[in-house]
A and B are shown apart, each in its own frame.
Chain A
């Protein structure tokens, strides 16, 4: 697609419920990133994928958070037993991969706003 698409744009759920957030990256982008942005804060790194595999998941806060990218394109961020502290905007970004992959620009989606009541 033309840009990074994230669904849903807004999700309200109750404490303890399970949530899935979807990201559809730019076609041809092999790197995909998840960040979390709380009010008044910068984006906090969660996980990034190179193709189908997680290249770095060191930012996932605990084992309630999990992400997959089974075919190397669309990714799903899964949050189990949601807590009020999980409320934030979850941002997805994608980039090309080249030899100097660290220099590639990340293109961000508009985000999925999660509210846990």
Chain B
């Protein structure tokens, strides 16, 4: 079945870096755009970034632009999020999500990985 599994979360000090991974299985990963979405504790959902199926195009939320980089390795069926210059306000559960066929909806989500930025 379609599955997304995030990893790489943890506690990190402000200003440091962290890389999240999202391992995909059960579908042709290289055919789908992929997203990162985050949710701060007790808050709503915030879209973070998207990467086209072939790696050609990416967009970011203003809140992470210049600090976060989305990438993928289609040979490993894995999506990444490199997070640099982390801030306290980046504390959240980070979900990867698949872009559904044709209507830009998030039709499959991982279970999420928690990132805590604190000194």
- The answer to whether A and B belong to the same complex is no
Which residues does B use to contact A, with CB under 8 Å?
A: none
- A residues sitting closer than 8 Å to B (CB atoms) are none
